[in-house]
Structure 1
Amino acid sequence: MKAKNRDQSLSDSRELDGSYDQLTGNPTSKSKKTIKQRFLTLLPCCNPSAAPSISQNSVEDDFELSTVCHRPESMDKLQEQTKFTKKELQVLYRGFKNECPSGVVNEENFKTIYSQFFPQGDSSMYAHFLFEAFDTNKNGSVSFEDFVFGLSIILRGTINDRLNWAFNLYDLNKDGCITKEEMLDIMKSIYDMMGKYTYPTMQDDAPIEHVENFFQKMDQNKDGVVTIDEFIDSCKKDENIMQSMQLFDNVI
């Protein structure tokens, strides 16, 4: 990643002005422009500068003649399986291959790439959780297919698709419910990642407060855990969360 992109990412993080939802830590509608810019920066393959002159033939040749360790599915098949156009997939693939020449990325490399965009904090734990969410096959690596399948849900999925993906991210042990301990781990990882450059500055007890607010609104039957039904139902009733779910619409 070019130095100017890293500098831009740091600048973006310093511009965060309390724009994270107090319930989940998700961005609010007030930060739409900043968050879209951040998302583009976090995904170098979505940045136009990552692919200054991509020809259709060049990318298709890569798919057909690639000698990398992992050979991705054909463009046509991926287009059928995701909600991206062929042109969008070409841009995504070029950027992914630039960052991951072998065709796959393991967790350590994923953390290294991700850390470039949050130099003011420690993003390793959040990157771990995110990697787990993208590694749907649980084989310790994320391929281009894994990457675009996840992005397709996040960027183009229905509200239920996106909420299910978010629930899976928070459900760390994948047992079908979110505990306070799991949510606290997520909130701490976000706090560690953002560092001390948020404004207003997050207090040390902010992760605990987020968790308590989360469970107060989400744990409808007060049994100490949040199920997928409770999560989806509560999110759909929260205007801020619904607005934040739309921040990445048409981002590519």
Structure 2
Amino acid sequence: PSQRSIKYSLSLSCTYLYFYFTVKKSEVECLVRLFHSLVERANVRLNNLGLDRNAFGAILHSVFGMTDDMLMNRVFFVFDKDHDNCINVKEWVKGLSVFLRGTFEEKLKFCFEVYYLNGDGYICREEIFDMLKNSLHQQSSEEENDEGIKELVDITLKKMDYDNDGKISFADFEKAVREERLLLEVFGPCLPEAKNCIDFEALAFRHILNSSF
């Protein structure tokens, strides 16, 4: 695309996006510029694509310190609201607004969406088993490991499945996390640590002047 079309896209995106998210207008402008820079670096055509799964996963790993491939893949799908297998500029800003400025409620919803892997709105026993197995790297045999994980699944359901239907609904998840905040990322880290967010902001917003927008 031409420089003119990129500048037009940047202006349009910034004007449209900053009304919708918890980041400031000046920060949205920086995120949009960074998005276009990353897309260009990934050799993806700006006019019809954004960041694909590999490019986005590399950002989650190198910038936000995530290492779990399974969870990074799920984070990608939560960012990708229109399910077209790439992150567009609106999805980029919306997802990062949760990472950087998200309220507790927004982060609660985000984590739950990451964890219900089959998209049915519930975290079932099998999904809990797979996520716990993925996050626990024990040096025991697979059979012993599986038995231990099954016990953890039972403990988790006993603690979080308030209506005793054998799966965790959003209402179950919210109630459990509100009672014990450490359960927010109970099935694996899917939000960046505060230090990684601070480092990202220092990089992304370094050109913002200390003025009101």
With the length of structure 2 as denominator, give the TM-score of the two structures: 0.66
* 2:37 counterpart (98, 103, 106): 98
Change (3 A) 1:186 1:147: farther
Q: State how 1:84-233 maps to structure 2 within 5 Å.
A: 84-101=23-40, 102=44, 103=46, 104-114=50-60, 116=62, 123-191=68-136, 202=138, 205=145, 208=149, 211-233=153-175
Using the TM superposition, give the Cα deviation of residue 128 of structure 1 relative to its aligned residue in structure 2, in angstroms. Answer: 1.5
Unaligned 5+ runs, structure 2: 202-213
- Aligned sequence identity (%): 25
Looking at structure 1, the residues matched to 57 and 35 of structure 2 have their Cα atoms a distance apart, in angstroms, of: 15
CA distance in 2: counterparts of 1:147 and 1:132, whole angstroms: 12
The CA deviation at 1:242 is: 6.8
> Corresponding residue for 2:13?
74
Give unpaired runs (5+ residues) of structure 1. 1-61, 193-201
Quickly say closer, same or farther: Cα 1:89–1:67, change in 2 above 3 A: closer
Partner of 2:209: none
- Give secondary structure in 1 for the equivalent of 2:123: strand
Taking structure 1 as the reference length, the TM-score comes to: 0.57
The Cα shift of 1:96 comes to: 2.4
Compared with structure 1, are the counterparts of its residues 166 and 93 closer, same or farther at alpha carbon in structure 2 (3 Å cutoff)? Answer: same
How many residue pairs get matched? 178
Which has the larger Rg?
2
Query: Deviation of residue 153 (structure 1)?
Result: 2.7
Amino acid at match of 2:165: D
Counterpart residue number, 2:182: 240
Deviations 1:44-65 (A, max 9, x none): xxxxxxxxxxxxxxxxxx7x64
Please tell me the root mean square deviation across aligned C-alpha atoms, in Å.
Answer: 3.8
